[in-house]
């Protein structure tokens, strides 16, 4: 069994000219390799799995070429001595994955890859069954790591230090983190999830996990997954220069950009206290810059030390 770590995650005030207070909880600092909310989502999934004393334990998961989740599962496996397999979207990567910073590092962590076509990747139920038959003692973790145990794990992102805030904000991918924050928030707190994806089923999924009605989902300005604009990058670069806090271009950058936009539009009542959760994802910066450079786009002016 894995022991629950005792970490003190700093909450930093973001000084602004708005008539509200904005803070950010640096969950990205929880572990040097296992990124932010991914730590808690994986921790409780794997602990439940290990309780069954599986013979030859193995972690299997899904993700794209620059997936923070794949990176975190590989690092988790290395940290706790459990072999890992990544089912990777895009069989065109099979012969050149070494050029991809995320997959290259995951391989160094000991992860083995199975590359599947984008069409086959859409049928995860079929893929899951295939790998269960091949590795019957394995734990198959869903893409993004979100499930009931992940939602339970997110409770450890909340505590006495988060109780006094009026609003709790997080980026949303597969919905597990915002569902967990919603489920374990205080009665007076409103939860805002800022979507990094277009998914009309997300609200229903989150509601089923949360079992509460204290949350609202909002689209980021560019909420198609993986879409990065010059405006996104300029905001991330400005934020880092002003506050010395790195943000990633898929999740946390869009979240903070949206919070600032809401503040400018007076969405929050005066004197509100807003807490944003920094859920990590910084390992993706190298891959994002690789892509942006190939398109002659504005680059992120810093790189994460995670990879």
Query: What is the model's pLDDT at position 192?
Result: 98
Where in the sequence is the domain holding 171, given as residue range(s)?
11-32+148-294
Shared-domain flag, residues 59 and 205: no
Q: 306 falls in which pLDDT band (50, 70, 90)?
A: very low
CB atoms closer than 10 angstroms to residue 140: 19
- Whole-model pTM: value is 0.93
Are 172 and 277 within one domain?
yes
Strands 215-219 and 11-14, sheet pairing: unpaired
CA-to-CA separations, 22 to 122, 191, 230, 238, 268, in angstroms, rounded: 39, 14, 24, 16, 11
The count of C-alpha atoms lying within 13 angstroms of the C-alpha of 41, restricted to the half-sphere facing its C-beta, is 31
Last residue of a domain, one of 92, 126, 145: 145
Report the percentage of the chain scoring pLDDT > 90. 79
- Asked if residue 300 belongs to a domain, the reply is no
Does residue 273 sit in the same domain as residue 152?
yes
Q: Is 223 in the same domain as 159?
A: yes
**167 and 288 in a common domain:** yes
- The CATH code of the domain that includes 285 is 3.40.50.1100
- Is 80 exceeded by the pLDDT of residue 4? no
Same-domain check for residues 97 and 193: no
Q: How many residues does the chain have?
A: 307
In 3D space, the residue among 208, 69, 226, 68 whose CA is nearest the CA of residue 141 turns out to be: 69
| For residue 225, pLDDT beyond 70 | no
| pLDDT band (50, 70, 90) for residue 20 | very high
Confidence of residue 188 (pLDDT cuts 50, 70, 90): very high
Backbone angles phi, psi at 250, to 5 degrees: -95, -40
Q: What's the rounded mean pLDDT across residues 188-205? A: 92
User: Is there a catalytic annotation at residue 107?
Assistant: no
- Are 161 and 280 in a shared domain? yes
Asked if residue 77 and residue 22 are part of one domain, the reply reads: no
Is 172 found in the same domain as 126?
no
Per the model's pLDDT, the better-predicted residue between 29 and 304 turns out to be: 29
Give the mean model confidence (pLDDT) for residues 109-126: 95
Q: How confident is the model at residue 218 (pLDDT cuts 50, 70, 90)?
A: very high
Instruction: Determine which one of 35, 52, 67, 138 is catalytic.
Output: 67
Contact 62, 127 (CB under 8 A): yes
Question: Given this model, what pLDDT does residue 1 score?
Answer: 62
**At 170, is the pLDDT very low, low, confident or very high (cuts 50, 70, 90)?**
very high
> Mean pLDDT over residues 205-215, rounded?
97
Sign of torsion, CA 221 224 228 230? Answer: negative
Domain identity same for 188 and 255: yes
* Pair (51, 183) in one structural domain: no
- The number of distinct structural domains making up the chain is 2
Distance separating alpha carbons of residues 36 and 157, to the nearest angstrom: 9
Residues contacting residue 99 through CB under 8 Å, at least 6 positions apart: none
């Amino acid at each position: 069994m894995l022991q629950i770590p005792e970490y003190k995650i700093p909450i930093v005030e973001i000084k602004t000219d708005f008539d509200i207070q904005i803070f950010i909880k640096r969950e990205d600092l929880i572990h040097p390799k296992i990124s932010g909310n991914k730590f808690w989502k994986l921790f409780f999934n794997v602990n439940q799995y290990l309780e069954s004393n599986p013979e030859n334990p193995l972690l299997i998961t899904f993700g794209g070429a620059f997936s923070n989740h794949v990176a975190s599962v590989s690092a988790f496996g290395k940290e706790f001595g459990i072999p890992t397999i990544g089912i990777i979207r895009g069989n065109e990567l099979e012969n050149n994955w070494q050029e991809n910073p995320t997959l290259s590092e995951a391989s160094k962590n000991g992860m083995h890859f199975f590359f599947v076509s984008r069409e086959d990747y859409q049928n995860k139920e079929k893929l899951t069954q295939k790998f269960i038959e091949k590795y019957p003692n394995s734990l198959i973790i869903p893409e993004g790591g979100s499930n009931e145990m992940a939602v339970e794990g997110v409770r450890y992102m909340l505590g006495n230090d988060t109780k006094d805030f009026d609003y709790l904000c997080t980026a949303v991918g597969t919905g597990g983190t915002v569902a967990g924050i919603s489920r374990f928030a205080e009665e007076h707190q409103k939860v805002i999830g800022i979507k990094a994806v277009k998914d009309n089923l997300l609200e229903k999924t989150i509601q089923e996990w949360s079992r509460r009605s204290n949350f609202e989902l909002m689209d980021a300005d560019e909420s198609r997954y993986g879409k990065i604009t010059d405006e996104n990058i300029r905001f991330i670069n400005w934020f880092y220069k002003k506050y010395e806090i790195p943000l990633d271009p898929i999740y946390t950058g869009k979240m903070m950009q949206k919070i600032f936009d809401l503040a400018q539009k007076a969405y929050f009542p005066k004197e509100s206290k807003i807490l944003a959760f920094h859920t990590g994802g910084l390992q993706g910066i190298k891959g994002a810059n690789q892509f942006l450079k190939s398109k002659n786009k504005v680059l992120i002016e810093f790189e994460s030390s995670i990879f």
